[in-house]
């Protein structure tokens, strides 16, 4: 399986996945990082791992439709079989879904269906919940509404700051996401 990772920002989940691919712990090949922010730190992480990078913005393409058509062409150029979203902050539209439905997964820092969309950790913390979590799910045309593959709760401790909660959520993501992706890729390879 030829895998592309989509990311928008810092890229800590990208780095964890890239290490697993590089160490041969994934049943597939990481062939591309796509980033919608050319200056994002994740681009530097990809360069460190010698992963090819494609990066352009919606604005540079003149709108979402043209942007997604250009992404689709990039995916075809790299012969991408599967997409893992790792901090990609855009909703995947029907243009990409038409070709990749059932072959795109996302990592979300909340126990869905709670806190879909942006600022999930901050919202759970502000609501003084006892727990939040991490969800890996397939992408559909909705906002964080696709079929759930795996979830794990993360406690919100009375002593937590937002930073300490984020740290524990990231630790959970860095453990859960590679496990789920490896299972999916291994199953795909055996079919």
Residues with a catalytic annotation lie at 108
Tell me if 13 is assigned to a ligand binding site. Answer: yes
In 3D space, the residue among 5, 96, 101 whose CA is nearest the CA of residue 55 turns out to be 5
Tell me if 145 is assigned to a ligand binding site. Answer: no
Cα separation values, 6 from 52, 153, 183, Å: 12, 24, 19
DSSP designation for 36: S
Note whether 53 and 46 are within 8 A (CB): yes
Tell me if 146 is assigned to a ligand binding site. Answer: no
In 3D space, the residue among 147, 137, 139 whose CA is nearest the CA of residue 180 turns out to be 137
| Residue partners of 49: CB distance under 8 A and separation at least 6 | 15, 18, 19, 22, 30
Note whether 52 and 24 are within 8 A (CB): no
**Residue list for the binding site for (6R)-10-formyltetrahydrofolate:** 64, 106
**Residue list for the binding site:** 11-13, 64, 106
């Amino acid at each position: 399986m030829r895998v592309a990772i989509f990311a928008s920002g810092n890229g800590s989940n990208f780095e964890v996945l890239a290490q697993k691919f590089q160490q041969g712990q994934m049943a597939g090949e990481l062939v591309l990082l796509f980033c919608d922010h050319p200056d994002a730190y994740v681009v530097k992480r990809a360069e460190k791992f010698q992963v090819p990078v494609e990066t352009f913005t919606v604005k540079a393409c003149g709108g979402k439709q043209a942007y997604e058509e250009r992404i689709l062409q990039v995916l075809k150029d790299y012969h991408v079989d599967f997409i893992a979203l790792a901090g990609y902050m855009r909703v995947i539209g029907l243009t990409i879904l038409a070709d990749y439905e059932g072959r795109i997964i996302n990592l979300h820092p909340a126990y869905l269906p709670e806190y879909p969309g942006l600022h999930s950790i901050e919202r759970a913390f502000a609501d003084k919940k006892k727990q939040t979590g991490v969800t890996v799910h397939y992408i559909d045309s909705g906002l964080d509404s696709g079929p759930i593959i795996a979830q794990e709760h993360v406690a919100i401790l009375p002593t937590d700051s937002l930073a300490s909660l984020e740290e524990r959520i990231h630790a959970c993501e860095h453990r859960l996401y590679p496990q789920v992706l490896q299972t999916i890729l291994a199953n795909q390879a055996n079919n």
